[in-house]
Chain A
Amino acid sequence: MNIIVLLKQVPDTETQIKIAPDGKSIVTDDIKWIMNPYDEFGVEEALRIKEKFGGEVTVVGLGPKRVTESIRTALAMGADKGILITDDALEGSDSLAVAKAITAAVKDLDYDLIFTGQRGIDDDMGVVGASVAELLGIPNISLGIKVEISEDQKTVTVNRPVEGQTLVIESSLPALITAQKGLNEPRYASLPGIMKAKRKPLEEKSLADLGLDASEFGTEARKVKILELTPPPERAAGKIIEGETPQEKAAELARLLHEEAKVL
């Protein structure tokens, strides 16, 4: 069973995001970059399937050279090889353009399954997975929280949460599955895994290598344009309820909830 995992590199969840002076992007200087956590679920699931059925896991990332680090992390976890799609002309591309580049890189590979995160935790678009499936002409199953490959390795069954219930979807292979939280607990890269990752093949592809026209990518070619980024409102300071006794405090709390917060 050969599996491809698409991954994105995103700012660490603990990063303090600052908006850049242009008002349309963020300051990236002090950011610690990590593998998108939803993609990490995809890597883990791919590795588990590989451990059961054999085969190879290929990790595909797109972006500047630093994305290599995230691909190496996936290799350290146990993936077999990596592909980095990197080209200055890709800078600023929208989700559809990204999906086109990824499709070009994976379409001729031998694969049974593709995993990717249900969305990137940075832009929260959730478009790339479905777009790649559409461009490849294969089924797309989103938000998988359980994935089972049939014994004959011809079909996959995926559980997907829907409003507190579970939808069980069966699909032929190859198919693309987007990973949701709850699918698994990703492993830590072991130290021997990290050392082995250094020797695993990692190929770089430019748009020209993929036979793509650079003018269809980048900020200028965006179909979705970012007009402005605004920070979330600052959290207001909390209020400490004064009072001598629990009764007094409770009465004061009730009064504030009623008169100030107007929730009672």
Chain B
Amino acid sequence: MAMKKEWLFEEEHEMFRDSLRRWVAEELAPFADEWEEQGEFPMELYRRAGELGFFGGAMPETYGGVGGDFRYHTVFSEELAHSRSGGVSAGLGLHGFVALPAVAAFGNDEQKRRFLEPGIRGEKIGALAVTEPDTGSDVGGIRTKAVRDGDEYVINGSKMFITNGARADFYIVACKTDLERGYKGVSQILVEKGTPGFSVSRKLDKLGWRASDTAELAFDDVRVPVGNLLGEENRGFYQIMHGFQTERLVMAVGSVAAAQRCFDITMKYAKERKAFGRPIGTFQVNRHKFADMLTWIEAARRLTYHTIWLFINGLDCAKEIAMCKVYACETAVKVADMCIQIHGGYGYMMEYEVQRIWRDQRIQPIGGGTSEVQKEIIGRLLGL
């Protein structure tokens, strides 16, 4: 453990970090290029992470977690930035820190036994399906509908940009259960892979997150028992917003870590690469870039850690979370862009990691609620 210890973390978080760091360095990073090339990573990674208990940090002990707090997710997200593949972080993170928490927060005991327990073990993989081809941030405007028919819901519609979309075992699908009531008519329903009428329309080709599986899903008269309703009927919007809190925090944390990694790689490059007889980092024009970048990264980290502290202490932090999401995610894109510039032509080459970080980070101000939506949240919370 470093002497300059971060105030936010306890000894057990740091031990968790040490374990994760080794796992990432030995079992993920060396294969990242291969997985990026193939457009997916092995399913075995979920099971391995599950076996090591890595998904269980903030999960209840009854279902195989360790009952810790959000800081375990924080550490996971920070260390996964060193996997050299945003797609790997996204795939593992979406399952562990978006899908599973939704089941943990709103599932009943039977659903937790079915999905959460094997999910924590990495044996059943989850996905969250909210976005649709015509609806992104406007969750109330979704068109996928679930109509009650006896003891079943009949689901029709489609979902877009779903992480883990082609390979998940269960999907938490946002559906309209009351077409008249806008966002107050949204419910979350669990749909298992293999349910008749459910299909993966296509795997999507993306700018970044190449190793992550992102898909478009189709629901054609998909029948599921009413027992698959997650939480309460017509309360789905609030449940989704609840989940967004931690998802956005995890994203902010990941972006800070990715920006720091990009910065470190570029510092090393700027010390070694020479132009006009001296290392390029020593030119004032670049030195100032480094000064700016580190300041932004550090500011983003402090805002994020502060917000995590508010969050784990149960204090209101809706505004701060939105700020973290905007600032950290946009900082990472800005830093990665500047790092490519410092790398010159090499930065544009696929073999240099900075371009991958730029491509992987470019989704961050879009996914999980765009920067624009976050600013709206902040503005409204200010009473404007």
A188 touches B11 (CB 8 A): no
A32 touches B68 (CB 8 A): no
A191 touches B52 (CB 8 A): yes
**Chain A: how many interface residues by the 8 Å CB criterion?**
21
B15 touches A76 (CB 8 A): yes
Number of A-B contacts (CB under 8 A): 56
A203 interfacial contact with B, CB 8 Å: no
Per-residue contact bits, chain A 161-203, to B (CB 8 Å; 1 contact, 0 not): 0000000000000000000000000001111111101100000
Distance between Cα atoms of A193 and B54 in the complex (Å)? 11
B52 touches A188 (CB 8 A): yes
B12 touches A188 (CB 8 A): no
Q: Name the A residues within 8 Å of B4 (CB-CB).
A: 30
Pick the interface stretch among B18-26, B144-152, B205-213, B256-264: B18-26
Q: Name the A residues within 8 Å of B3 (CB-CB).
A: 29-31
B53 touches A192 (CB 8 A): yes
A36 interfacial contact with B, CB 8 Å: no
Distance between Cα atoms of A188 and B18 in the complex (Å)? 9
A69 interfacial contact with B, CB 8 Å: yes
B310 interfacial contact with A, CB 8 Å: no
B11 touches A72 (CB 8 A): yes
B18 touches A195 (CB 8 A): no
Distance between Cα atoms of A188 and B24 in the complex (Å)? 11
Q: Which residue of B lies closest to A193 (CB)?
A: B53
**Chain B: how many interface residues by the 8 Å CB criterion?**
22
B11 touches A192 (CB 8 A): no
A33 interfacial contact with B, CB 8 Å: yes
Distance between Cα atoms of A198 and B12 in the complex (Å)? 8
- Given known A31-B3, A33-B1, A193-B53, contact A188–B22 (CB-CB < 8 A): yes
Distance between Cα atoms of A197 and B15 in the complex (Å)? 10
Q: Name the A residues within 8 Å of B52 (CB-CB).
A: 188, 190-191
B72 interfacial contact with A, CB 8 Å: yes
Shortest distance between the CB of B4 and any CB in chain A (Å):
7
Q: Name the B residues within 8 Å of A195 (CB-CB).
A: 12, 66, 68
| Residue from the list B1, B2, B18, B66 in contact with A192, Cβ < 8 A | B66
Distance between Cα atoms of A73 and B66 in the complex (Å)? 17
Q: Can you name 13 A-B pairs with beta carbons within 8 Å?
A: A32-B1, A33-B1, A76-B15, A188-B19, A188-B23, A191-B19, A191-B52, A191-B53, A191-B54, A194-B16, A194-B66, A195-B68, A197-B15
Instruction: Identify the A interface with B (CB < 8 A).
Output: 29-34, 66, 69, 72-73, 76, 188-195, 197-198
